[in-house]
Structures are given as structure tokens and as C-alpha cells.
Amino acid sequence: KAIAVAERSKAESEANKLAALARAEAIKAEETATTVRETEIANRNKTIQLNAAEEAAQKDAIAITVAAEADKKAALDRAEAVRVQAEADAERERITAKGMADAEMLLAEAKAKQYTVDAEGQKAINEAANVLSKEQIQMQMRFELLKHLPAIISESVKPINNIDSIRIAEVSGLGGQGQGKDNTTLDANGNIIQSNGSLSDQIVNSALRYRSQMPLVDGLLNEVGLTGGDISKMTGSLLGNVEEQKPTDSENKQ
């Protein structure tokens, strides 16, 4: 009976041992499974994170690449715009320069033609003047002088503006002066220094002798048949010239 108990106890111990081993194996297997599961979970999370990081990096790279491409395209567009603007400016300057050159050439040609026409006209005038008689040349000179005579006389009498006043005194016979037979005033040499005429004529004649350019102006007046220095003779000469220039009946008929 004791042997049987011992055998049974031994068998139970073996059974318990086997059971414990079985439980240990089961626990080990379970832990191994847990470890494997957690490892797989960790690997999966790592893979997910790596994939996410890679995806983010790829997105950033794509964004950078797109931005770089955009900047490059913008730079190329700006460079092209600058080139086009430079070409347009150069073309505009070329056209402007060509236009100015053409205008200057046309102006030069026009001036050359004008100079040619003027030269031919002057040549014709000179040729016509060469065949003029001495009297015709003198007549033309007198016409030119008469044309400018008002301005010459106006400039010559400007010194009269400096005369403040004129005083009239009878000094006949004083200082070698005498009275001529026609009521003219003579100097010591017998030269007429005061012509007869009205008092106003004598005053004007005295004022005319005050002109500093008297010899030159009187010489020009004499060229056209006028007498300077004496208002009466000057008007008389003008009236005489007018009468001389009136056409005769025979000339009118011609």
C-alpha cells in the first residue's frame, strides 16, 4: 500500500512537473508571441513613421523643386523681358537715328537746292546788273538810299533831343558876321551860315546843324538830289524831284 502511494505520489509529481513545464512552455510561448507582436507593432509604427517622414520629405522636396522651377522660370521670363525691352529700345534708337539722319539729309539737300537757286538768282541779278548803264546803276542806288532815308534821317536828328532850349538873339554884324543882300547871315569869310526864310525855318536849320553826323547824312542826301542842313532847300528839293519823276505825256502814251 505504501508503495502504491509512493508510486502515485511520484506519478503526481511527474504530472505536476510536466504540467509546470507545459505551463512554462505556454508562458514562454505566450511571451514570445507578445514580444513578436510588440516587435511587429514597433516595426510597423517605425515603418509608418518612416513612410510619413519620407512622404513629408518628398512633399518638401517637391515644394522646393516646384519653387525652384518657378523661380527659374520667373528669372528666365525677366531675362527675356529685359532682352525684348533692350531690343525694342535699340530698335527705337536706330529708327530715331535713321529718321534724324534722313531729316538732316533732306534738309541738307533742300539747303543745297536753295543755295543753287539763290546762286543762280544772284548770278542772273549780277548779269543783269552788268548790262545796266551807269545812270541805271545810280538810279538803283538812289532808290535804295531813298528806301532807307527815313531811318537815316531819324537816326541823324536824334542828337537834337539833347537840345534843352533855343534862344533867339539879333547879333547881325557882331564878331565879323554880316548881313547878305538876300537877308542871309554871313561869317567873316562870306560863307552863308544862316539862310533867309521864316523864323521857324531858321530855328530848324540851326537845330539841323547841331547833328554830329551832318557831313555824312548831308552827303547821302546830296546823292539823291536833296539839300541837307536847310529845311527850305530840303523840301524844295523834294518837290523838285517829285516834279522831275512825273511822267510826261509822251511817256504816258508809251
Task: Provide, rounded to the nearest whole percent, the portion of the chain with pLDDT above 90.
Answer: 14
Are 108 and 100 in contact by the 8 Å Cβ rule? The answer is no
Over range 195-200, report the average pLDDT: 54
Which carries the bigger pLDDT value, residue 187 or residue 208? 208
92 with 140, same domain: the answer is no
Other CB atoms within a 10 A radius of the CB of residue 184 amount to: 15
CA-closest candidate to residue 186, choices 198, 177, 195: 177
85 with 170, same domain: the answer is no
Over range 175-200, report the average pLDDT: 49
Q: Is the pLDDT of residue 28 over 50?
A: yes
164 with 94, same domain: the answer is no
Confidence of residue 147 (pLDDT cuts 50, 70, 90): confident
**Domain endpoint, select from 76, 98, 120:** 98
pLDDT confidence of residue 221? 62
pLDDT in tens, 73-105: 999 999 999 999 999 999 999 999 999 999 999
Q: Is the pLDDT of residue 113 over 80?
A: yes
Residue 67 in domain: yes
160 with 219, same domain: the answer is yes
Q: Is the pLDDT of residue 56 over 50?
A: yes
> Among the residues of the chain, which ranges form H helices?
2-130, 134-156, 199-208, 214-223, 231-245, 249-253
Q: What is the mean pLDDT of the chain?
A: 72
Other CB atoms within a 10 A radius of the CB of residue 202 amount to: 18
141 with 58, same domain: the answer is no
Q: Is the pLDDT of residue 190 over 70?
A: no
Residue 78 in domain: yes
89 with 24, same domain: the answer is yes
| DSSP class of 200 | H
Residue 205 in domain: yes
Which carries the bigger pLDDT value, residue 201 or residue 150? 150
**Domain endpoint, select from 80, 98, 116:** 98
Residue 113 in domain: no
Please calculate the CA angle 37-43-44 and round it to the nearest 5 degrees: 85
Residue 108 in domain: no
Over range 57-64, report the average pLDDT: 90
Number of domains in the chain: 2
State whether residue 186 is helix, strand or coil: strand
81 with 179, same domain: the answer is no
CA distance 13 to 18: 8
pLDDT confidence of residue 228? 54
Tell me which of 47-61, 112-126, 204-218 is least confident: 204-218
Residue 105 in domain: no
61 with 162, same domain: the answer is no
CA-closest candidate to residue 241, choices 139, 155, 137, 154: 139
184 with 93, same domain: the answer is no
Strand pairing class (178-179; 192-194): unpaired
Residue 131 in domain: no
pLDDT confidence of residue 143? 79
Domain that holds residue 65: 1-98
149 with 208, same domain: the answer is yes
Residue 212 in domain: yes
62 with 156, same domain: the answer is no
167 with 228, same domain: the answer is yes
CA distance 111 to 121: 15
- Is the torsion defined by CA of 68, 70, 72, 78 positive or negative? negative
Which carries the bigger pLDDT value, residue 170 or residue 117? 117
Strand order in the sheet with 192-194: 178-179, 185-186, 192-194
**Domain endpoint, select from 49, 75, 98:** 98
Are 203 and 166 in contact by the 8 Å Cβ rule? The answer is yes
| DSSP class of 178 | E
State whether residue 164 is helix, strand or coil: coil
State whether residue 1 is helix, strand or coil: coil
pLDDT confidence of residue 27? 86
Which carries the bigger pLDDT value, residue 61 or residue 10? 61
Over range 4-8, report the average pLDDT: 73
